Amino acid sequence: MRMPGLRRSHELGFGTHAVCRGPGALRAGVLAAAVALGSLGVACGRPAPAVPGSSPASAGAPASEPRTGNPFAGIRIYRAPYSNAENAQQRLAKTNPADALLIGKIAAQPQASWYGGWSGDVRTVVTNYVNAAERAGELALLVAYNVPNRDCGQYSAGGASDDSSYAEWIKGVAEGIGQRRAVVVLEPDALGLLTQCLSPEDQEKRLELIRQAVVLLEAQPGVAVYIDAGHSGWVPAAEMAQRLRRAGIAEARGFALNTSNYRADAELVSYGKELIAALGQDSHFVVDSSRNGNGPAPAGDPEDWCNPEGRALGRAPTTDTGEPALDAFLWLKRPGESDGACKGGPPAGQWFEARALEMARNAKW
């Protein structure tokens, strides 16, 4: 079931970009009594631009050092190489330098790495990605997107085949991170769409799966988890607060807003504060600002969340938020990667250059 004006779609198939390529790159848990920690793969990476508003990692402090408080403070977010935007920028530099400069606005920003069933051996690919971030002295930012019946069968349909498969999969994510530092945004859409396509029994199962995932991931000494909580135009704060409680928010660092959507910063900050008040507990949040520079598309389009025209890049990633509870503005959804096969766009996650260029042109920076 599609929710006009509320939905959003996500990357599919781009969690493996952090596997090394090319000459220069290459608490106790309900899910498991213990997590076997290890390090696989080859570390890779390169210097990345500083996240605006944040300071670089302290000299001599390893990225694996456990931290308390804002997990983004004092460390850059890792910008992985070989993104769709970077590849497009390099290609356009040979034929259309002006467009290459526009795409460069996207390519230069650190963005999250998404993982799901398309990722293959998730333990290995996550290890490779976190190794690369650690080698660069930077922070790994991951999105876990594999809950069963993901996206209610819409453009980003899929997910683990059953609850036990998901439990094993999320264990692989935790093992891949090991004792290194990382931030995980957990299951976009899962709470927002909770009542749209699941029976009451399956709703309870999903909430328990997410709660178990939070417990397992937060048991890793360097991991901070933000549970996706939709956005300001979707589920009322009082209802979303109930879902967050049942999904383990008490064990997480906080929640994430606007993942892959276009709502404006001001209304998201207001909604985030309203959510914290409804929760009745200390919590924090992050906002996906990657594509909200012009706010949402005008009302009237039943799929205004899917590749809308006239949008713009939002503010660049930063910890300079002016709000104590707002840990960071992040780029979770990668600008230029399609929301789905709509409005002339390719399948979800594939590069949609026309939209990338439009958002870059419309950016107010």
Return the closest-CA partner of residue 329 out of 54, 67, 107.
Answer: 54
| 339 counts as catalytic | yes
In a domain, 66, yes or no: no
Work out the mean pLDDT of the chain and round it to a whole number: 85
Set 99, 121, 151, 288: catalytic member: 151
The tally of CA atoms less than 13 A away on the side-chain side of residue 122 is 25
In a domain, 7, yes or no: no
In a domain, 124, yes or no: yes
d(CA 63, CA 177): 12
Set 99, 304, 327, 339: catalytic member: 339
Please determine, for residue 133, whether its predicted confidence score (pLDDT) is greater than 50: yes
In a domain, 10, yes or no: no
In a domain, 148, yes or no: yes
Contact status, residue 176 vs residue 36, Cβ threshold 8 Å: no
Parallel/antiparallel/unpaired status of strands 254-257 and 326-330: unpaired
> Whole-prediction pTM value?
0.85
Partnered with residue 158 across adjacent β-strands are: 150
**Structure tokens, 224:** 């901070």
CATH number, domain containing residue 266:
3.20.20.40
**Structure tokens, 55:** 């300071």
Range scoring the smallest mean pLDDT among 42-46, 311-315, 354-358: 42-46
In a domain, 328, yes or no: yes
More confident residue, 57 or 126: 126
The secondary structure of 49-118 as a DSSP string is PPPTT-PPPPTT--TTS---S-TTTTSPBP--SS-HHHHHHHHHHHH-HHHHHHHHHHHTS---EEESGG
Using a pLDDT cut of 90, give the percent of the chain over it.
Answer: 77
In a domain, 65, yes or no: no
pLDDT score of 61: 39
| 99 counts as catalytic | no
d(CA 336, CA 290): 10
Tracing tokens 């460069």 back to the chain, one arrives at 104
Contacts of 168 (CB under 8 A, 6+ apart): none
pLDDT score of 234: 95
Set 99, 163, 189, 320: catalytic member: 189
Tracing tokens 């507990």 back to the chain, one arrives at 281
| 189 counts as catalytic | yes
In a domain, 62, yes or no: no
d(CA 287, CA 242): 20
Q: In terms of residue numbers, what domain contains 142?
A: 36-54+73-362
Domain count, the chain: 1
Mean pLDDT of 237-250: 98
